[in-house]
Amino acid sequence: MSKLYLVPTPIGNLEDITFRALKVLKEVDYILAEDTRTSGKLLKHFDINTPMQSHHMHNEHKTVEHIVKRIQAGEIFALISDAGTPAISDPGFLLTRACIQNNIEVECLPGATAFVPALVNSGLPNDKFVFEGFLPVKKGRQTRLKFLAEETRTIIFYESPHKLLKTLTNFSEYFGEERLISVSRELTKMFEETKRGTVKEVLSYYTEKPAKGEIVIIVDGKK
């Protein structure tokens, strides 16, 4: 039966992939990969020989219709991103929506997502939270920060290492330097690190020790 699987992949440690994910990736007709070179290393490690096709933010608008037609014709696809769960700050939403609109079955497997361990490990309230992902780089950034300054729930952000200091400086300006935060980087990898404290303390730490690797920032809500 034609179907689309959304398959999470490890965010660092390859042992975090599930047995079910491996089974699906071996049995589907095609794997849609954000970067076939990156995913090729994962598939090779687990001896998976399923054909791959590129599906990323620069071509997904053009490829969705064609993929939907192929699934309707009987092919089974699995969608993966470079790391983590597809569609979480990665390609996946457009294809998922198109499949649902065309009555194609979509199934998302449970698995790795970077913000979950970062949130739970932060020590900040996690009964209610809001996921923001990446802040706007330029247009709309100040407006978004002003809006989030009043948010009472814990806030989750993704950030790249070369923009971390700018973002922390913005937090100091809009949230206040005493707001509690937690910065997790290189999750599940050898040099995994979580730094907790006030915005002022964490900004000082990363000013002296520049961060490397993918970053998740957890910010306490306004009290």
One domain, residues 90 and 169: no
What pLDDT shows up at residue 29?
97
Higher pLDDT, 90 or 46: 46
What pLDDT shows up at residue 148?
98
Q: Residue 220 above 80 pLDDT?
A: yes
With cut-offs at 50, 70 and 90, classify the pLDDT of residue 110: very high
One domain, residues 103 and 196: no
One domain, residues 29 and 126: no
Could you write out the DSSP letters of every residue in 7-70? --B-SS-GGGS-HHHHHHHHHSSEEEES-HHHHHHHHHHTT----EEE--TTTHHHHHHHHHHH
Distance CA 199, CA 109 (A): 35
One domain, residues 79 and 100: yes
One domain, residues 30 and 48: yes
One domain, residues 22 and 57: yes
Task: Tell me the torsion sign for CA atoms 148, 151, 157, 159.
Answer: positive
Q: Residue 1 above 80 pLDDT?
A: no
**Domain final position from 108, 137, 152:** 108
Domain interval for residue 71: 3-108
One domain, residues 126 and 44: no
With cut-offs at 50, 70 and 90, classify the pLDDT of residue 215: very high
What pLDDT shows up at residue 172?
98
One domain, residues 101 and 154: no
What pLDDT shows up at residue 56?
83
CATH number, domain containing residue 165: 3.30.950.10
**Domain final position from 108, 123, 156:** 108
Q: Residue 118 above 90 pLDDT?
A: yes
Angle at alpha carbon of residue 52, lines to 18 and 190, rounded to 5°:
45
Neighbour count for residue 79 (Cβ, 10 Å): 27
What pLDDT shows up at residue 19?
98
One domain, residues 21 and 103: yes
Q: Residue 58 above 90 pLDDT?
A: no
Q: What is the pTM of this model?
A: 0.93
One domain, residues 164 and 192: yes
What pLDDT shows up at residue 102?
96
Instruction: Please count the structural domains in the chain.
Output: 2
One domain, residues 121 and 214: yes
**Domain final position from 108, 140, 170:** 108
One domain, residues 87 and 181: no
CATH number, domain containing residue 60: 3.40.1010.10
Q: Residue 123 above 80 pLDDT?
A: yes
Question: Of 132, 92, 114, 120, which Cα lies nearest the Cα of 182?
Answer: 120
Task: Write out pLDDT tens, residues 20-32.
Answer: 999 999 999 999 9
Q: What is the mean pLDDT of residues 96-111?
A: 97
